[in-house]
């Protein structure tokens, strides 16, 4: 490994030759990559900022790949050290120089990468999706794009698939944008600057709500499993260990649970809903934001979650009234309001205070053994359908041999509470069980948007200066621990959106 050799930079070539001869004579061999990592006590990872991979939040780093890497480092008994690069081009350059143990790029293995890197699939399947601005004509196939500009990010799976498709459509052309990420491309499709573009389906799912003028046309090529990339200069010991570890996570259900955490709530906000929500964020939320912040702090919860609940309940309308008699911005029932000491449900401040207090009560009823974020999802479901019906669904889940402490399992059984053959077997009987599932999914989506819009981005230094810092730290045997958090490279996002959201 380069950092091992770097320790000998002051030695003469003759000294290194003598050392090599001594090693041969004593029968010592170079340790495997896996052994080197365990000896050093650090797993060095190079990645980029993207909601599908890695993001930094006020609560710490998160992201699908990051969570897997953190578990993998724990399994190896070493520290995880993350280095954030500007884009996939830089990540591949670092891997080519063998300056990191693995790269998280959000790419699948392609024929032209075979032999260049070791790869290990991470459990997420993605396709290249052709997207277009709503104001231009919808293309039915790539042939409709002959002679028209198509835009893609650099070092993506899209270029390989487009090159393959050019065999049938010779006039197909595209422009690569090294300085943009998926969000940057989508923002330009949104504005109409790029009429047509190609993005990965998983990144489209995570970003689509922010770009309601972007429409999906069709998929290009076959789906592929996204993978971790390992330098070809390494032996395969680390890649083999990663493959075995991820196989174990798949077998025990952990992989599916992490996937649900990041992708399980992304299908509930359509074009109209997204446009309406963004309009209300601008025109209604400012009237109540300070109240959400104050009472969320009083009851030890995230104000953005409290605001998301309020939007799901009433679209932030303090005089909202339902046919069943629940009313107010947080849509409290008369009994609930009386129980928690709220006199006027139509008063915005009282309603928000009551909603925060009631959610805290509900949250504390969920068993402490259930880890976050599932405990919050259960609390939201209970807030909507009632604790008794939630417990009924959890018992049905357990009876079917699934885990009653995992939201991804219980949400499959909640809708059964509306079916006679099932609710007659429960303690609390009939419930419109599909509603809490949609309720939780919507709130998770609203929360994501609010988190993204309210997480300030940190300006990045000049890229060239940071590349020098990276190389210097690597040559010294350290990947990034000398650099402060605000010195890390970040992928570009539209300035008005700020930081990518933490997905609970």
Query: Would you please indicate which residues are annotated as catalytic (active-site) residues?
Result: 313
d(CA 79, CA 37): 10
Residues contacting 80, CB < 8 A, separation 6+: 42, 43, 45, 69, 70, 72, 73
Only one residue has tokens 């006039």, namely 171
d(CA 141, CA 163): 15
Q: Are strands 79-85 and 42-48 parallel, antiparallel or unpaired?
A: parallel
Q: Between the CA of residue 303 and those of 172, 306, 319, 445, what are the distances in Å?
A: 48, 5, 21, 15
First to last CA, the chain: 37
Measured in whole angstroms, how far is the alpha carbon of residue 464 from the centre of its chain?
A: 28
d(CA 500, CA 504): 13
Question: With b meaning 16 or more CB within 10 Å and e meaning fewer, what string describes 428-457?
Answer: beebebebbbbbbbbbbbbbbbbbbbbbee
Contact 257, 406 (CB under 8 A): yes
């Amino acid at each position: 490994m380069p950092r091992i050799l770097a320790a000998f930079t002051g030695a003469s070539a003759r000294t290194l030759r003598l050392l090599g001869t001594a090693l041969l004579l004593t029968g010592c061999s170079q340790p495997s990559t896996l052994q080197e990592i365990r000896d050093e006590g650090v797993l060095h990872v190079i990645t980029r900022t993207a909601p599908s991979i890695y993001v930094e939040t006020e609560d710490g780093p998160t992201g699908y790949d990051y969570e897997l890497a953190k578990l993998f480092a724990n399994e190896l008994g070493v520290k995880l050290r993350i280095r954030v690069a500007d884009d996939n081009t830089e990540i591949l350059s670092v891997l080519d120089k063998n300056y990191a143990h693995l790269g998280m790029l959000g790419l699948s293995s392609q024929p032209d990468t075979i032999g260049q890197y070791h790869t290990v699939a991470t459990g997420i399947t993605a396709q290249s999706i052709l997207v277009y601005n709503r104001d231009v004509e919808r293309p039915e196939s790539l042939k409709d794009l002959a002679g028209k500009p198509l835009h893609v990010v650099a070092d993506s799976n899209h270029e390989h698939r487009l090159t393959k498709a050019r065999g049938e459509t010779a006039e197909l052309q595209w422009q690569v944008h090294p300085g943009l990420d998926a969000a940057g491309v989508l923002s330009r499709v949104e504005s109409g600057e790029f009429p047509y573009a190609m993005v990965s389906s998983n990144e489209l799912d995570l970003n689509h709500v922010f770009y309601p003028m972007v429409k999906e046309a069709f998929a290009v090529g076959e789906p592929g499993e996204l993978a971790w990339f390992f330098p070809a200069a390494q032996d395969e010991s680390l890649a083999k260990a990663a493959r075995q570890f991820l196989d174990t996570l798949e077998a025990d259900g952990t992989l599916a649970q992490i996937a649900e955490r990041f992708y399980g709530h992304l299908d509930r906000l359509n074009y109209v809903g997204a446009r309406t929500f963004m309009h209300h964020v601008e025109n209604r939320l400012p009237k109540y934001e300070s109240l959400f912040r104050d009472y969320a702090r009083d009851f030890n919860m995230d104000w953005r979650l409290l605001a998301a609940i309020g939007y799901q309940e009433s679209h932030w309308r303090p005089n909202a009234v339902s046919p069943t008699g629940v009313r107010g911005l947080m849509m409290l029932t008369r009994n609930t309001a009386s129980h928690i000491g709220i006199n006027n449900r139509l008063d915005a401040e009282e309603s928000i205070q009551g909603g925060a207090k009631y959610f805290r009560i509900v949250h504390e009823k969920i068993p402490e053994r259930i880890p976050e974020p599932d405990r919050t999802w259960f609390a939201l479901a209970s807030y909507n359908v009632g604790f008794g019906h939630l417990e009924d669904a959890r018992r049905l889940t357990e009876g079917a041999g699934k885990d009653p402490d995992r939201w991804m399992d219980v949400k499959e059984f909640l809708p059964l509470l509306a079916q006679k053959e099932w609710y007659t077997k429960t303690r609390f009987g009939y419930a419109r069980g599909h509603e809490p599932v949609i309720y939780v999914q919507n709130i998770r989506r609203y929360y994501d948007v609010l988190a993204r819009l309210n997480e300030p981005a940190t300006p990045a230094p000049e890229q060239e200066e940071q590349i020098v810092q990276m190389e210097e730290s690597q040559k010294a045997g350290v990947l990034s621990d000398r650099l402060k958090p605000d010195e890390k490279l970040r992928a570009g996002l539209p300035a008005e959106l700020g930081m990518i959201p933490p997905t609970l």
